Amino acid sequence: MKFVYSDQYDLHLGDHVFPSQKYRLTKEKLLADGVAKPEDVVAPEPASDEDVALVHHRDYIWKLKNAKLSYAEILRMEVPYSPELVRAVWLSAGGSILAGRRALEESVAANIGGGFHHAFPDHGEGFCVLQDVAIAIRRLQRDGLIERAMTVDLDVHQGNGTAAIFAGDPSVFTFSMHQENNYPYPKPPSSLDINLADGVRDSEYLDLLRESLEKIVPEFAPQIIFYLAGADAYWDDQLGGLRLSREGLEARDRMVFEKAGKIPVVVTLAGGYARKVEDTVGIHANTLRIARDFAG
């Protein structure tokens, strides 16, 4: 199994609630624990502007690359604008494209980054600048490698950008299971949304997930699944209000792969804001360990 990663994913944001160092720390933990060997970690190339334009408006791309975003647009992104940010998000989109190609060849692959599901065609928000998963899906479709894709978004926050980008597109099924009383507001409809009450715990969560996956995966029959494996459903997450344990999150991850069966799966990390960054890193690393187990 290949793990796509770049040191430039880390924006060195310091005390920012978005711990961008988690990407580097997750990669280091995978290597230290023997989950990955150095040769299993592959570097992405930045997505091309043409790839990005499969999803995002060209005027937004131009503003990003030429430092022409307004103050309000930067505030909405909730991460500081810099040339390093632009480089990172183009690399992350390229990373999800590469992980998609690898998954089609080898059944499972991961981008140790990505899952930026709040980005819209014309703006970024909620720490998300480019919607890397949507860009990857569109690139794989354009290249004739797939026709139908599914997103399984288990971040604590609804994937509003994903829902908006693929609205009315029968070739992409968007599934989001998230805390209802949480960002974003409003929540544009996904193909299927499971809106969870505050404080949901492992048993209820897993029952709902099982019921949903057992219905939608065979009915839609995607040729690839992009799994947005947010760590922020964890009980001690600063930006989440669900109560999943580490064991519950592990059961969640296993269930996604079990229900996918022989369908290729791409893992992206999405959110994770635990009070202790090592908890977020541990959750992400465990997701990737399980992914490796299912890759064979």
**Domains of the chain (ranges, CATH numbers):** 2-237+250-295 (3.40.800.20)
pLDDT for residue 225? 98
pLDDT for residue 75? 97
Joined tokens for residue 110: 């991961």
Q: What phi and psi, each to the nearest 5 degrees, are found at residue 204? A: -65, -45
pLDDT for residue 93? 98
Distances (CA, A) of 73 to 67, 150, 153, 162, 211: 11, 29, 25, 19, 39
The CA-based angle 118-260-226, given to 5 degrees, is: 25
Q: Residue 212: what residue type?
A: S
Distances (CA, A) of 276 to 19, 65, 155, 272, 279: 10, 34, 18, 10, 5
pLDDT for residue 46? 98
pLDDT for residue 160? 98
Per-residue pLDDT of the chain (296 residues; tens, 9 = 90+): 999 999 999 998 888 999 999 999 999 999 999 999 999 999 999 999 999 999 999 999 999 999 999 999 999 999 999 999 999 999 999 999 999 999 999 999 999 999 999 999 999 999 999 999 999 999 999 999 999 999 999 999 999 999 999 999 999 999 999 999 999 999 999 999 999 999 999 999 999 999 999 999 999 999 999 999 999 999 999 999 999 999 999 999 999 999 999 999 999 999 999 999 999 999 999 999 999 999 96
pLDDT for residue 12? 86
pLDDT for residue 14? 82
The rounded distance, in Å, linking the Cα atoms of 131 and 55 is: 8
The answer to whether the bond into 218 is cis (omega within 30° of 0) is no
Burial 249-267 (b: 16+ CB within 10 A, else e): bbbbbbbbbebbeebbbbb
pLDDT for residue 95? 98
The rounded distance, in Å, linking the Cα atoms of 129 and 240 is: 21
Q: What share of the chain is helix, strand, coil (3-state, %, to 5)?
A: 45, 15, 40
pLDDT for residue 290? 97
Joined tokens for residue 237: 């997450």
